[in-house]
Structure 1
Amino acid sequence: MVEEGIMEGDYVVVRPQPAAEQGEIVVALIGDEATVKKFKRKGKSIKLFPANPFYSPIEVTEDVTIVGKVIGIIRYY
């Protein structure tokens, strides 16, 4: 998520919540793997978009759980 200011090695600070608002960056579980994506809703469809345009968005289904909203980052130099 470099395009969103989250660099490799950063720690994300997450507020646990089961839902998100349009355009928020969230942590989601897909199976047992966590991912950080931008939340977008269009009608009844919900998709998680990567910051990198070379990757495809993920359609939210029962297999995807919103863990929480990213509210900050911690970066060590």
Structure 2
Amino acid sequence: MPKYEIKSPNEKLTAKRGKATFVNGVAITEDAKLATAYKLTGYEVITLEDKPEPKQAAKKKPVAKKKATAKKKGE
């Protein structure tokens, strides 16, 4: 489900306006109808991409390297 960032013309707006809560002029919602309503009334609306959380690579245990042993004389 896409998320929408709604930017108020007033960058200092920190208040609830309708169903959106703005902090420093920005509100985030998943409600497409709400985002459209704000867009029609002059607010800037940006659709945010749904980015899956990056999977953390499993930590590999360091492999201990075997030391090369020199052959003794006569072997």
Q: Tell me if both proteins adopt one fold, taking TM over 0.5 as the criterion.
A: no
TM-score normalised to structure 1 length: 0.33
The structure with the greater share of residues assigned to strand is: 1
Q: Which has the larger radius of gyration?
A: 2
> Taking CA–CA contacts closer than 8 Å with sequence separation of 6 or more, which of the two structures ends up with the larger relative contact order?
1
